[in-house]
Structure 1
């Protein structure tokens, strides 16, 4: 077969990738390709702007900068960290090394990280194995998050200086627009794009499905362990923006009274323009603490802001009305989502406060009575509130308008079982990207090589089939509210009907109360 050239022409200029070796043999990757202008200076806190073309051949052999975040979250190997910076709007393309007679399906991945961390340079997100085994083109996207991508300063816009809302979502849209313009040159089919993501990335997928601005940019979607309700109301976004500016001006700021003088657009512009990226990040970290101590309904300051032109309505509410973009959808969660947060990183919002604020004390009493207090079941309650319950509500609504497939990922290696993590948050990604044999995944898969390989084949075949034909491999039935058939992904995959049905009903009553 003819080998694909490593030099490819994009609409901005030529880029040169690199042929894979060892475990990446049979693929080519192009890394660090700009899909928008550097969001610095006048472009800071703005929607992504067009990038400038270049002359000659641009090397595309190294990942671009990670978005600004704590260094510890950018580890890419022992003692190695990906550089960070505001100039981070790049993407990476992975393709089989051969030319195919017809264009390949495209899979565009949005990484997770609670809207405050993450980098496409993380070895787990290497798209080479998925591209090779499933004969697809994989694209991974670096976007802005935290204060740089998910605070809404639009209320401070003037004729002199514009600030945009939902910058992170706008980055995703700009990347998908780049794919539409350029992916054919890499052997991909712009008419068959599947967008997929995990955790905050899965939530971003749902936000795109709820965004009129994303219509036509993708044709199928996969949301892995999304947190559909972790959005920010427009009024709360204004509170968070105001607090951020006050923290930026005075790092010792604490919530004051109602008689605080409003911050003028001119002062806001000065603060946001002159601050260094390090100062902005520090203020953003302090805002997380402020959010815990203030009386704001939206539990986290960073996330899609509901009520602008990009996201007029929250994804959960749109789904309940059957209004998400009518593309085929895979959605699911992991059996032990909460164990990661209980053992390593406790950032989940209070389930009790979230339910009571949204649906009232009666809903909370009904739900909490179905879980044992404390222990694994108490952890499951918190995780169900954030991930599983709203995901089922999304599936219910979307299944009425487009093919929908629901999974639960139950597979845990011996190491994960022994350490008590089980099939916890993000573990399915090792199967999706074929990473159990990588340096990152080897320790997790030790003693479970054969089962890990089987589960990897199962997941990749389903994801690849879905990207190709918008339906998984035979044996995974569509989800409907009449039967509620769910694929349980484990050493021996099987289909269950309405797992956790009693709890599901209680949660969905609460979601219905929230909408009303």
Structure 2
């Protein structure tokens, strides 16, 4: 008998109706739980709207569709299959894992997936909350939200007839999900006053944006930002509208109403064309971006965690040592880059001293080739230096912040990836079986993998539970603060180090965000 018909399956009574879940791996799981109305038809490119209830008992034992996105059978050569059918517009649902749907008041972890603003899913097996729920006695929630053109297009007040003045529909989805969690998590054994929001890459940018959103105030207490690309330029409406115009042209539509008449596969096909029109050599491709619309997002997300609204939020922020290799190291066009090409790219950021900056990077990495210098530059610009600047600024204001660097290099793919973007994820989630399809884990010593995974998984649990990531199997991890700038370096041997990004921090000498 299936879980939906099993009279012993867990049932939760919510104001909207009853949910029937399942028991998996010793924890209770509820899937495809709706937190907002389906953003279809006239609700496309509108802020998230409340979801009406349902009659009877809703089956919550199977995953819902992921947000529409590009899909290649077999996935990419680094992550393997990343996202799988079905996809659908009706994607505003969440999955939830709990030791028991009781009144225990456990700490809550909400996961926001990344994916370059165009891919990913909270329903991926990779992001199962089972291990966190079981090992940490936590309630874990993973959300789906609109991505790509459905989440990130911006039309503006005059951009197209029938459009909202606001943009960032992805952000309205996330606020709605957080509100749902805050209002309902007690039914699942969670404490609404002890919610931690965690995310990686684009998901970590989301968390920074949520920290400054007026409707998200008080909805979470702690934040974990894994590899946030805070160095991205976040466009103003005037800067974004030409991109929207290019997308309309590629989609063959005159305005937002024309786009609403298209199927989501047609919208995704047009998005692929926008990749080609917006990609620049030596820059991470981002056809879709958040927009500083002045309604949902007033300032760069890197700044939001510095303001009073976020003063009491405990923050953990970190990066991988070789972030950029994820996007470039397997591309032969970059592997054969020349010194002149890289110096020319550096000149875009350092117009008056490109050769000097090249030399500084070359000196920091023994035997550095031009592509190595480029990878370090991109990693610094997008990830490492902005993360350190965030930690510096919060520490200077006396606000809690912990910093880490993931330094463990994978031997997979001839070692070309090193400690690449996303590599920390399986170690954090503590369940390597759900990542067994990922090529970038190939060849890692099982004993080293288990030890590093334990160290990271338990640190995340400790932070969610207490706001302090220290646990007995870690070296002492102090809060980030000058002059020591203590950062925990996760590697085969994990250690607390002082100012590991100091050379880059001084080289870029940016003002605090």
TM-score (ref. length: structure 2): 0.86
Quote the offset at 1:324 in angstroms: 4.6
- Paired with 1:351 and 1:386, the residues of 2 have a C-alpha distance of 16
Deviates more, 1:149-158 or 1:229-238: 149-158
Kept in 2: contact 1:124–1:440 (CA 8 A): no
Partner of 2:145: 143
Partner of 2:420: 424
- Paired with 1:323 and 1:483, the residues of 2 have a C-alpha distance of 27
Distance change (3 Å), C-alpha of 1:80 and 1:103: closer
Q: Does 1:70 align with 2:56?
A: no
Quote the offset at 1:331 in angstroms: 0.3
The one of 170, 173, 176 equivalent to 1:171 is: 173
Quote the offset at 1:270 in angstroms: 3.1
Quote the offset at 1:377 in angstroms: 3.2
- Paired with 1:142 and 1:81, the residues of 2 have a C-alpha distance of 13
- Paired with 2:40 and 2:464, the residues of 1 have a C-alpha distance of 35
Q: Does 1:339 align with 2:325?
A: yes
Distance change (3 Å), C-alpha of 1:370 and 1:33: same
Distance change (3 Å), C-alpha of 1:80 and 1:393: closer
TM-score (ref. length: structure 1): 0.85
Distance change (3 Å), C-alpha of 1:375 and 1:504: same
Quote the offset at 1:376 in angstroms: 2.5
The C-alpha deviation readout for 1:334-389, integer Å capped at 9, x for no partner, is: 122222222347999x99899766x6623756544421251423312212211111
CA-based RMSD: 3.2
Distance change (3 Å), C-alpha of 1:318 and 1:187: closer
- Paired with 1:346 and 1:176, the residues of 2 have a C-alpha distance of 42
Distance change (3 Å), C-alpha of 1:238 and 1:442: closer
Partner of 1:186: 188
- Report matched runs for 1:200-211 at 5 Å: 200-211=202-213
Kept in 1: contact 2:426–2:435 (CA 8 A): no
Deviates more, 1:203-212 or 1:48-57: 203-212
- Report matched runs for 1:90-489 at 5 Å: 90-97=93-100, 99=102, 102-156=104-158, 162=164, 164-230=166-232, 231-249=234-252, 267-292=254-279, 300-318=286-304, 324-344=310-330, 361-362=351-352, 367-372=357-362, 374-399=370-395, 400-413=397-410, 415-416=411-412, 418-438=414-434, 440=436, 444=441, 448-473=445-470, 475-489=476-490
Distance change (3 Å), C-alpha of 1:223 and 1:120: same
Distance change (3 Å), C-alpha of 1:420 and 1:327: same
Distance change (3 Å), C-alpha of 1:77 and 1:420: closer
Partner of 2:18: 14
Kept in 1: contact 2:109–2:140 (CA 8 A): yes
The C-alpha deviation readout for 1:390-429, integer Å capped at 9, x for no partner, is: 111111112224210000011245x438533222111111
Partner of 1:256: none
> Which consecutive residues of structure 1, in runs of 5 or more, have no partner in the other structure?
251-266
Kept in 1: contact 2:321–2:419 (CA 8 A): yes
> How many residue pairs align between the two structures?
483
The DSSP-based 3-state class of the residue aligned with 2:352 is: helix
- Paired with 1:353 and 1:326, the residues of 2 have a C-alpha distance of 43
Quote the offset at 1:450 in angstroms: 1.7
- Paired with 2:230 and 2:285, the residues of 1 have a C-alpha distance of 13
The DSSP-based 3-state class of the residue aligned with 2:196 is: strand
- Paired with 2:83 and 2:249, the residues of 1 have a C-alpha distance of 35
Kept in 2: contact 1:196–1:221 (CA 8 A): yes
- Paired with 2:444 and 2:286, the residues of 1 have a C-alpha distance of 39
Deviates more, 1:332-341 or 1:229-238: 229-238
Quote the offset at 1:98 in angstroms: 7.4
The one of 73, 79, 85 equivalent to 1:82 is: 85
> Which consecutive residues of structure 2, in runs of 5 or more, have no partner in the other structure?
1-7, 335-340, 363-368
- Paired with 1:80 and 1:43, the residues of 2 have a C-alpha distance of 24
